[in-house]
Amino acid sequence: MDRETVSRQINTGFEKANKSYSYNDDHDKSVPIEMWFQESDEGLILFVVFYSQACRWSQCTGCNLPSKACQGHVDYKAIIDQINYVFSDPEVVRRRDSICKVIISNNGSIFDEATFSSTALMYFLAQLNISLTNLQILTIETRPEYVDFAELEFMARALAESEANTQLEIAIGFEALDDEIRNDIFKKGLSRSGFEELVGQAAPYGYRIKCYFMQKPVPGLSDDAAVDDIKNAIDYLSQISEKFKVKINMHLNPTFVARGTTLEEAFLKNEYTPPRLVDVARAARHGRDKPISIFIGLSDEGLTVEGGSFIRDGDEEIIADLEQFNRSQNYDILDWLAQKT
Protein backbone atom coordinates (compact mmCIF):
# COMPACT_ATOMS: atom_id res chain seq x y z
CA MET A 1 0.00 0.00 0.00
CA ASP A 2 1.41 3.42 -0.91
CA ARG A 3 2.36 5.78 1.89
CA GLU A 4 -0.08 8.49 0.89
CA THR A 5 -3.03 6.11 1.26
CA VAL A 6 -1.80 4.97 4.67
CA SER A 7 -1.48 8.58 5.88
CA ARG A 8 -4.92 9.37 4.52
CA GLN A 9 -6.44 6.42 6.40
CA ILE A 10 -4.83 7.54 9.66
CA ASN A 11 -6.18 11.08 9.19
CA THR A 12 -9.64 9.80 8.31
CA GLY A 13 -9.82 7.77 11.54
CA PHE A 14 -8.56 10.74 13.55
CA GLU A 15 -11.18 13.07 12.06
CA LYS A 16 -14.06 10.59 12.27
CA ALA A 17 -13.43 10.19 15.99
CA ASN A 18 -13.13 13.98 16.58
CA LYS A 19 -9.68 13.60 18.10
CA SER A 20 -7.38 16.49 18.90
CA TYR A 21 -4.05 14.98 19.96
CA SER A 22 -0.82 15.55 18.09
CA TYR A 23 1.73 12.89 17.12
CA ASN A 24 5.09 12.06 18.67
CA ASP A 25 7.06 12.97 15.55
CA ASP A 26 10.19 14.17 17.40
CA HIS A 27 10.82 10.79 19.03
CA ASP A 28 14.22 9.20 18.33
CA LYS A 29 13.44 6.59 15.64
CA SER A 30 16.13 4.23 16.92
CA VAL A 31 14.50 3.89 20.35
CA PRO A 32 11.20 2.12 21.20
CA ILE A 33 8.41 4.26 22.67
CA GLU A 34 8.74 2.38 25.93
CA MET A 35 9.50 -0.97 27.48
CA TRP A 36 8.87 -2.38 30.94
CA PHE A 37 8.71 -5.58 32.95
CA GLN A 38 5.54 -7.11 34.42
CA GLU A 39 5.06 -10.01 36.84
CA SER A 40 2.28 -12.48 36.10
CA ASP A 41 1.36 -16.05 36.97
CA GLU A 42 3.21 -16.97 33.75
CA GLY A 43 6.44 -15.48 35.10
CA LEU A 44 8.43 -12.42 34.08
CA ILE A 45 7.03 -10.51 31.10
CA LEU A 46 8.92 -8.01 28.94
CA PHE A 47 6.56 -5.55 27.24
CA VAL A 48 7.95 -3.54 24.33
CA VAL A 49 6.14 -0.79 22.44
CA PHE A 50 7.96 -0.07 19.20
CA TYR A 51 7.93 3.34 17.56
CA SER A 52 6.31 3.16 14.12
CA GLN A 53 3.71 4.90 12.03
CA ALA A 54 0.40 5.35 13.86
CA CYS A 55 -2.53 2.91 13.91
CA ARG A 56 -4.31 2.90 10.53
CA TRP A 57 -7.71 2.47 12.16
CA SER A 58 -7.33 5.33 14.67
CA GLN A 59 -11.12 5.59 15.08
CA CYS A 60 -11.67 4.19 18.58
CA THR A 61 -13.14 7.11 20.44
CA GLY A 62 -11.43 6.74 23.82
CA CYS A 63 -7.97 5.88 22.47
CA ASN A 64 -4.99 8.20 22.13
CA LEU A 65 -2.32 5.50 21.74
CA PRO A 66 -1.51 6.82 18.24
CA SER A 67 -0.36 10.07 19.88
CA LYS A 68 2.79 8.22 20.96
CA ALA A 69 3.46 7.07 17.39
CA CYS A 70 4.77 8.81 14.28
CA GLN A 71 2.44 10.37 11.74
CA GLY A 72 4.80 9.40 8.93
CA HIS A 73 6.45 6.13 7.95
CA VAL A 74 9.22 4.62 10.09
CA ASP A 75 11.38 2.37 7.92
CA TYR A 76 12.70 -1.11 8.70
CA LYS A 77 16.24 0.06 9.39
CA ALA A 78 15.02 2.34 12.18
CA ILE A 79 12.89 -0.44 13.67
CA ILE A 80 15.86 -2.83 13.52
CA ASP A 81 17.83 -0.20 15.48
CA GLN A 82 15.01 -0.26 18.06
CA ILE A 83 15.25 -4.06 18.26
CA ASN A 84 19.00 -3.83 18.82
CA TYR A 85 18.28 -1.25 21.53
CA VAL A 86 15.93 -3.71 23.30
CA PHE A 87 18.34 -6.64 23.22
CA SER A 88 21.28 -4.56 24.42
CA ASP A 89 19.34 -2.94 27.26
CA PRO A 90 21.25 -3.78 30.48
CA GLU A 91 18.07 -4.86 32.34
CA VAL A 92 17.03 -7.15 29.46
CA VAL A 93 20.53 -8.63 29.34
CA ARG A 94 20.57 -9.10 33.11
CA ARG A 95 17.13 -10.77 33.21
CA ARG A 96 17.26 -12.59 29.89
CA ASP A 97 17.19 -16.07 31.44
CA SER A 98 14.12 -15.18 33.55
CA ILE A 99 11.97 -13.68 30.82
CA CYS A 100 9.12 -16.11 30.12
CA LYS A 101 6.94 -13.95 27.92
CA VAL A 102 7.47 -11.03 25.55
CA ILE A 103 4.60 -8.82 24.40
CA ILE A 104 5.21 -6.57 21.41
CA SER A 105 3.07 -3.65 20.37
CA ASN A 106 3.39 -0.55 18.23
CA ASN A 107 0.26 1.06 19.72
CA GLY A 108 -1.51 -0.19 16.60
CA SER A 109 -1.07 -3.47 14.73
CA ILE A 110 2.27 -5.25 14.49
CA PHE A 111 0.86 -7.40 11.66
CA ASP A 112 -0.04 -4.36 9.57
CA GLU A 113 2.96 -4.40 7.25
CA ALA A 114 2.12 -0.89 6.04
CA THR A 115 3.01 0.50 9.47
CA PHE A 116 5.33 -2.18 10.90
CA SER A 117 8.00 -3.69 8.67
CA SER A 118 7.99 -7.45 7.96
CA THR A 119 11.78 -7.42 7.69
CA ALA A 120 12.00 -5.96 11.18
CA LEU A 121 9.57 -8.58 12.49
CA MET A 122 11.71 -11.40 11.09
CA TYR A 123 14.83 -9.81 12.58
CA PHE A 124 13.05 -9.56 15.92
CA LEU A 125 12.21 -13.28 15.86
CA ALA A 126 15.82 -14.19 15.15
CA GLN A 127 17.06 -12.01 18.02
CA LEU A 128 14.43 -13.49 20.30
CA ASN A 129 15.55 -17.05 19.54
CA ILE A 130 19.20 -16.14 20.03
CA SER A 131 18.82 -14.05 23.18
CA LEU A 132 15.94 -15.34 25.30
CA THR A 133 16.49 -19.00 25.89
CA ASN A 134 13.60 -19.51 28.36
CA LEU A 135 10.93 -17.67 26.40
CA GLN A 136 7.64 -19.57 26.60
CA ILE A 137 5.30 -17.15 24.82
CA LEU A 138 5.59 -14.36 22.26
CA THR A 139 2.50 -12.15 22.22
CA ILE A 140 1.82 -9.94 19.22
CA GLU A 141 -0.71 -7.11 19.37
CA THR A 142 -2.78 -6.53 16.25
CA ARG A 143 -6.19 -5.85 14.86
CA PRO A 144 -7.64 -9.16 13.55
CA GLU A 145 -7.93 -8.01 9.93
CA TYR A 146 -4.14 -7.91 9.58
CA VAL A 147 -3.61 -11.49 10.72
CA ASP A 148 -2.30 -13.55 7.83
CA PHE A 149 -2.20 -17.23 8.75
CA ALA A 150 0.52 -18.10 6.25
CA GLU A 151 2.72 -15.53 7.98
CA LEU A 152 1.73 -16.84 11.41
CA GLU A 153 2.54 -20.41 10.47
CA PHE A 154 5.98 -19.33 9.29
CA MET A 155 6.55 -17.41 12.52
CA ALA A 156 5.39 -20.29 14.69
CA ARG A 157 7.83 -22.59 12.82
CA ALA A 158 10.67 -20.16 13.47
CA LEU A 159 9.76 -19.84 17.16
CA ALA A 160 9.57 -23.61 17.48
CA GLU A 161 13.29 -23.67 16.62
CA SER A 162 14.04 -21.82 19.84
CA GLU A 163 15.45 -23.70 22.81
CA ALA A 164 12.24 -23.17 24.79
CA ASN A 165 9.87 -24.01 21.91
CA THR A 166 8.18 -20.60 22.18
CA GLN A 167 4.40 -20.44 21.55
CA LEU A 168 2.56 -17.65 19.77
CA GLU A 169 -0.22 -15.58 21.30
CA ILE A 170 -2.32 -13.16 19.25
CA ALA A 171 -3.48 -10.14 21.24
CA ILE A 172 -6.41 -8.10 20.06
CA GLY A 173 -8.33 -5.15 21.47
CA PHE A 174 -11.95 -6.14 22.15
CA GLU A 175 -12.63 -3.32 24.65
CA ALA A 176 -16.34 -4.00 25.40
CA LEU A 177 -18.58 -7.01 24.97
CA ASP A 178 -21.79 -5.08 24.36
CA ASP A 179 -21.98 -4.67 20.58
CA GLU A 180 -23.51 -1.20 20.75
CA ILE A 181 -20.90 0.09 23.21
CA ARG A 182 -18.05 -1.53 21.29
CA ASN A 183 -18.95 -0.62 17.75
CA ASP A 184 -21.56 2.17 17.73
CA ILE A 185 -20.13 4.27 20.56
CA PHE A 186 -16.46 3.26 20.91
CA LYS A 187 -16.10 2.66 17.12
CA LYS A 188 -13.97 -0.46 17.52
CA GLY A 189 -15.02 -1.94 14.21
CA LEU A 190 -14.88 -5.52 15.52
CA SER A 191 -17.67 -8.06 15.12
CA ARG A 192 -18.02 -11.10 17.34
CA SER A 193 -18.17 -13.27 14.22
CA GLY A 194 -14.85 -11.78 13.04
CA PHE A 195 -13.30 -12.54 16.42
CA GLU A 196 -14.65 -16.08 16.45
CA GLU A 197 -13.32 -16.65 12.94
CA LEU A 198 -9.88 -15.60 14.16
CA VAL A 199 -10.07 -17.96 17.15
CA GLY A 200 -11.28 -20.78 14.89
CA GLN A 201 -8.30 -20.25 12.58
CA ALA A 202 -5.84 -20.05 15.48
CA ALA A 203 -7.14 -23.19 17.23
CA PRO A 204 -5.61 -25.91 14.99
CA TYR A 205 -2.15 -24.37 15.44
CA GLY A 206 -2.45 -24.17 19.23
CA TYR A 207 -1.99 -20.38 19.22
CA ARG A 208 -3.22 -18.56 22.27
CA ILE A 209 -5.49 -15.53 22.28
CA LYS A 210 -5.27 -12.46 24.48
CA CYS A 211 -8.16 -9.99 24.56
CA TYR A 212 -7.89 -6.46 25.88
CA PHE A 213 -11.02 -5.17 27.57
CA MET A 214 -11.67 -1.74 29.04
CA GLN A 215 -13.87 -1.35 32.08
CA LYS A 216 -16.22 1.63 31.55
CA PRO A 217 -14.84 2.69 28.15
CA VAL A 218 -17.53 5.25 27.28
CA PRO A 219 -19.57 7.98 28.99
CA GLY A 220 -23.18 7.26 29.91
CA LEU A 221 -22.37 3.88 31.45
CA SER A 222 -22.95 3.45 35.19
CA ASP A 223 -20.32 1.74 37.34
CA ASP A 224 -22.63 -1.25 37.79
CA ALA A 225 -23.33 -1.54 34.06
CA ALA A 226 -19.58 -1.41 33.42
CA VAL A 227 -19.04 -4.26 35.90
CA ASP A 228 -21.78 -6.25 34.17
CA ASP A 229 -20.19 -5.82 30.74
CA ILE A 230 -16.92 -7.28 32.04
CA LYS A 231 -18.75 -10.17 33.71
CA ASN A 232 -20.53 -10.89 30.44
CA ALA A 233 -17.20 -10.71 28.63
CA ILE A 234 -15.70 -13.27 31.04
CA ASP A 235 -18.63 -15.60 30.33
CA TYR A 236 -18.32 -15.06 26.57
CA LEU A 237 -14.54 -15.66 26.47
CA SER A 238 -15.00 -18.76 28.64
CA GLN A 239 -17.52 -20.18 26.17
CA ILE A 240 -15.23 -19.42 23.24
CA SER A 241 -12.24 -20.93 25.01
CA GLU A 242 -14.16 -24.15 25.64
CA LYS A 243 -15.75 -24.28 22.21
CA PHE A 244 -12.47 -23.87 20.29
CA LYS A 245 -10.20 -25.38 22.95
CA VAL A 246 -8.00 -22.31 22.85
CA LYS A 247 -6.20 -20.74 25.79
CA ILE A 248 -7.56 -17.23 26.33
CA ASN A 249 -6.29 -14.49 28.58
CA MET A 250 -8.39 -11.43 29.35
CA HIS A 251 -6.30 -8.30 29.88
CA LEU A 252 -8.64 -6.03 31.79
CA ASN A 253 -7.75 -2.35 31.66
CA PRO A 254 -9.63 0.11 33.85
CA THR A 255 -10.32 3.05 31.52
CA PHE A 256 -8.43 6.31 32.00
CA VAL A 257 -9.36 9.60 30.39
CA ALA A 258 -7.10 9.80 27.35
CA ARG A 259 -5.96 13.27 26.26
CA GLY A 260 -7.33 14.53 22.96
CA THR A 261 -10.35 12.22 22.79
CA THR A 262 -14.10 12.66 23.15
CA LEU A 263 -13.79 10.95 26.54
CA GLU A 264 -11.75 13.96 27.68
CA GLU A 265 -14.57 16.27 26.57
CA ALA A 266 -17.11 14.26 28.58
CA PHE A 267 -14.78 14.21 31.60
CA LEU A 268 -14.32 17.99 31.50
CA LYS A 269 -18.11 18.41 31.40
CA ASN A 270 -18.45 16.12 34.45
CA GLU A 271 -20.20 13.52 32.33
CA TYR A 272 -17.61 10.79 32.93
CA THR A 273 -15.56 9.44 35.82
CA PRO A 274 -13.07 6.56 35.49
CA PRO A 275 -13.97 3.26 37.18
CA ARG A 276 -12.96 2.60 40.78
CA LEU A 277 -10.43 -0.16 41.34
CA VAL A 278 -12.76 -1.94 43.79
CA ASP A 279 -15.27 -2.21 40.94
CA VAL A 280 -12.54 -3.65 38.73
CA ALA A 281 -11.95 -6.30 41.42
CA ARG A 282 -15.72 -6.85 41.61
CA ALA A 283 -15.86 -7.49 37.87
CA ALA A 284 -12.75 -9.66 37.64
CA ARG A 285 -13.79 -11.94 40.53
CA HIS A 286 -16.42 -13.32 38.17
CA GLY A 287 -13.53 -15.20 36.55
CA ARG A 288 -13.20 -17.64 39.47
CA ASP A 289 -13.37 -21.26 38.25
CA LYS A 290 -13.62 -20.11 34.62
CA PRO A 291 -11.30 -21.58 31.96
CA ILE A 292 -9.67 -18.22 31.13
CA SER A 293 -6.95 -16.29 32.96
CA ILE A 294 -7.24 -12.59 33.79
CA PHE A 295 -4.54 -9.92 34.02
CA ILE A 296 -5.52 -6.51 35.39
CA GLY A 297 -3.70 -3.64 33.66
CA LEU A 298 -2.67 -0.96 36.12
CA SER A 299 -0.84 1.55 33.96
CA ASP A 300 -2.24 4.65 32.28
CA GLU A 301 0.94 4.83 30.16
CA GLY A 302 1.21 8.58 30.91
CA LEU A 303 -1.61 9.28 28.45
CA THR A 304 -4.26 10.53 30.84
CA VAL A 305 -5.53 14.07 31.45
CA GLU A 306 -5.02 15.54 34.91
CA GLY A 307 -7.36 13.85 37.39
CA GLY A 308 -8.48 11.38 34.74
CA SER A 309 -6.67 8.29 35.98
CA PHE A 310 -8.40 5.30 37.58
CA ILE A 311 -5.72 5.50 40.27
CA ARG A 312 -6.86 7.79 43.07
CA ASP A 313 -5.12 9.02 46.23
CA GLY A 314 -4.90 6.18 48.73
CA ASP A 315 -5.09 3.40 46.10
CA GLU A 316 -1.56 2.12 46.77
CA GLU A 317 -2.69 -0.87 48.82
CA ILE A 318 -5.37 -1.99 46.41
CA ILE A 319 -2.87 -1.72 43.55
CA ALA A 320 -0.45 -3.92 45.46
CA ASP A 321 -3.28 -6.42 46.01
CA LEU A 322 -4.26 -6.42 42.32
CA GLU A 323 -0.62 -6.92 41.34
CA GLN A 324 -0.56 -9.86 43.75
CA PHE A 325 -3.65 -11.24 41.98
CA ASN A 326 -1.87 -10.87 38.62
CA ARG A 327 1.04 -12.91 39.93
CA SER A 328 -1.08 -15.60 41.59
CA GLN A 329 -4.61 -15.74 40.07
CA ASN A 330 -5.73 -16.04 43.70
CA TYR A 331 -9.41 -15.05 43.62
CA ASP A 332 -9.59 -14.73 47.42
CA ILE A 333 -7.76 -11.41 46.94
CA LEU A 334 -10.49 -10.12 44.63
CA ASP A 335 -13.25 -11.37 46.96
CA TRP A 336 -11.65 -9.46 49.80
CA LEU A 337 -11.27 -6.26 47.73
CA ALA A 338 -14.83 -6.51 46.40
CA GLN A 339 -16.22 -6.19 49.93
CA LYS A 340 -14.78 -2.68 50.20
CA THR A 341 -17.06 0.21 49.33
* Main-chain phi, psi angles of 157, to 5 degrees: -65, -40
Determine the Cα–Cα distance for residues 107 and 63; give it in Å rounded to an integer.
Answer: 10
Q: How far is the CB of 46 from ligand SF4 (least distance, A)?
A: 20
CA–chain centroid gap for 162, Å, is 25
Comparing CB distances to ligand SF4, the nearer of 258 and 281 is 258
Minimum CB separation of residue 212 from ligand SF4 in Å reads 8
Query: Could you give the CA distance from residue 36 to residue 34 in angstroms, rounded to a whole number?
Result: 7
Nearer to ligand SF4, 17 or 92 (CB): 17
Q: Which CB, 63 or 296, lies closer to ligand SF4?
A: 63
What residues line the site for ligand SF4 (CB under 6 A)?
A: 55, 57-60, 63, 65, 107-108, 143, 173
Region of 109 (left: φ > 0; alpha: ψ -120 to 50; beta: rest) is: beta
> Smaller CB distance to ligand SF4: residue 65 or 168?
65
What is the closest distance, in whole angstroms, from the C-beta atom of residue 16 to ligand SF4 in the complex?
11
Q: Transcribe 108-167 into DSSP letters.
A: S-TT-TTTS-HHHHHHHHHHHHHH-TT--EEEEE--GGG--HHHHHHHHHHHHTSTT-PE
Residue among 42 and 145 whose Cβ is closer to ligand SF4: 145
Rounded least distance, CB 259 to ligand SF4, Å? 13
Distance CA 8, CA 1 (A): 12
We find the least distance from the C-beta atom of residue 151 to ligand SF4, in angstroms, to be 19
